[in-house]
Each structure stands twice: as C-alpha cells, then as structure tokens.
Amino acid sequence: MPDAYELYRSGAALLEHGDHHAATLPLMRARDLEPDSRMVREALGRALFGAQRFREAAGEFAAVVDAEPNNDYAQFCLGRALQLLGRHAEARPPLTMAALLQPQRADYRVYRDRTIAALEREVADDA
C-alpha cells in the first residue's frame, strides 16, 4: 500500500502531464491519509479545478487558505473556483486578497475586477 507521499508524487506527476481527472484519485487518497497537508490539498485543488469540479476544488483551496491565509495562490484559486460557480460575492474576498498579496500579478487583478463587474451587473439587474 503506497504512503501519502508516494500517492502525492503519483498524482503530481499526472497533474504535470495534464491528466487532471486521473490525478484526483491518488491525490484524494493522499489527502485522506494526510488531511493537514497543505501541499497535498493544493495539488488536489488544482487537479479538481482542471477537471472542472469547481465546488470540490473550492473546498480544497478553502482548507489551504484556512491554514495559510497569506497563500496568494490558494486565495486566487479559491476565488476563481467560486467565480466559475457564479458565486461572485463569495469570490470577491479571496480574489481581492490575492491581488493585495501580490500586486504585481496582473492576472489576479483582472479576475478580481471581473468579479466586481459581475457583482455590479447583478445589482443593476436587481434595480
């Protein structure tokens, strides 16, 4: 039976080759063995995101953010997953935090601004 690290390495290799669906299996097993591993949970979040399983990806990135609030990448990915679920009000805080943590990252600002624009459109539509 492989240990958590072997499962992580297997999943990470699949992820690096773009096989997001296959990567989720060993990474889920690794997470189940080591639920506090931010490295495993971030990789699993990436795999789930790539597999377009955004709700599950958001859960993994939220766990990383809870443990490490200054992780700009996890904040960004959490926001993107929520954004793609149409949950713009929930996406705004992590996207804003990512942009604040790494102000030089134009991509972080672009997605933050898109969420703000979506929220403004929702308010205009409700008026």
Cα separation values, 17 from 6, 12, 14, 44, 95, Å: 17, 9, 5, 14, 27
Give the mean pLDDT per block of 10 residues along the chain (127 residues).
95 98 98 97 98 98 98 98 97 98 98 96 87
* Structural domain that includes position 14: 1-52
- The answer to the question of residue 87 being in a domain is yes
Say how far apart CA 110 and CA 53 lie, in whole Å: 22
Verify that 41 and 14 share a domain, yes or no: yes
Q: Please report the pLDDT score of residue 126 as a whole number.
A: 85
Verify that 19 and 73 share a domain, yes or no: no
Verify that 12 and 46 share a domain, yes or no: yes
- The answer to the question of residue 15 being in a domain is yes
Say how far apart CA 92 and CA 119 lie, in whole Å: 9
